[in-house]
Structure 1
């Protein structure tokens, strides 16, 4: 029963993420959505499997901050603990490479800081 509900929840999340990505590409709403949401992509460190999903962000120059909401329900940010690792973000209509480092700000809060490694401005 738990596997079935987990698969159902994953399906809901996947549909929601698909809608967010579609909104980013929308001629009408895309510009507004892209101000605060981006698509984060990275390769799993052991499997090499590609992962992509939307996240909220704030950018200041070549630094992007991602606040992970409800971090205990998500696992992706753990890949970037310690020395961090490479990823790409979709910013200003282009895939931008960066290096991400995650740190726990408190029990309920994780911050992922991404340093853009090449300027696409």
Structure 2
């Protein structure tokens, strides 16, 4: 595990509980969401905070330093089901990861109606 992955894991551990604090959670919820999914290989249920943007029923996550992270690989080549908690409201959806020619990774989550 790299230093970046260790620091990211520690930050995620600190941020997740803060997102559930009344008042603070709704403030953080404007830019952070919690994505929960089942690992394809491990079968473990995993939750992590992510920065996102939303337009209607589409949530977009731009993965920072994708070569240092592996979570997004659970959504390629095939999409997978996820739960997204935005400002305390859980939404179910389907996530698909795409990688550009330059190596930038975007996870697009289409929320269920």
TM-score normalized by the length of structure 1: 0.81
Partner residue in 2 for 1:3: none
Match of 1:29 among 24, 30, 45: 24
Secondary structure in structure 2 of the residue aligned to 1:25: coil
Question: For structure 2, which runs of at least 5 residues remain unmatched after alignment?
Answer: none
- Answer yes or no: is the 8 Å Cα contact 2:26–2:87 preserved in 1: no
Could you list the runs of 5+ residues in structure 1 that have no partner in the other structure? 1-5
Q: Does 1:59 align with 2:57?
A: no
Q: Max radius of gyration: which structure?
A: 1
**Structure with larger RCO (C-alpha < 8 A, sep 6+):** 2
2:14 aligned to 16, 19, 22, which one? 19
Deviation of 1:32 after TM superposition, in Å, equals: 1.7
RMSD: 2.0
Q: Match for residue 88 of structure 2?
A: 93
Q: CA deviation at 1:44?
A: 1.3
